[in-house]
Amino acid sequence: QKEVEQNSGPLSVPEGAIASLNCTYSDRGSQSFFWYRQYSGKSPELIMSIYSNGDKEDGRFTAQLNKASQYVSLLIRDSQPSDSATYLCAVDTGTASKLTFGTGTRLQVTL
């Protein structure tokens, strides 16, 4: 079982819709969770972090964490074509010295 799992997509949503991206993780000791956005040929860019169960909102982005079910999700409201990218989920177990990344979900926002 992979430590951090994401559906590779592509996930296609129309402009203005809500995009929902999901991630599951295997280590119950995980403490910090991150979403990175990566445009083709570019490096990952941190867009959201979440540490506690529940929702965390930042502009059009909402991160959701459920530690009991070991999943974290990212909602993007009012999706724009500029949101088209690969979204990477990353997890910090708290006892390790590094983040573990999923393979990413490719999001396509269509006009």
Q: Is 1 in the site for another protein (CB under 8 A)?
A: no
Q: Does 31 bind another protein (CB under 8 A)?
A: yes
> In this structure, what DSSP letter does residue 17 have?
S
- State the number of binding residues for another protein (CB under 8 A): 24
CB 75 within 8 A of CB 65: no
**Residue 97 in the binding site for another protein (CB under 8 A):** yes
Residues found near another protein in the complex (CB under 8 A) = 4, 8, 31-32, 34, 42-46, 49, 51, 88, 90, 92, 94, 97-104
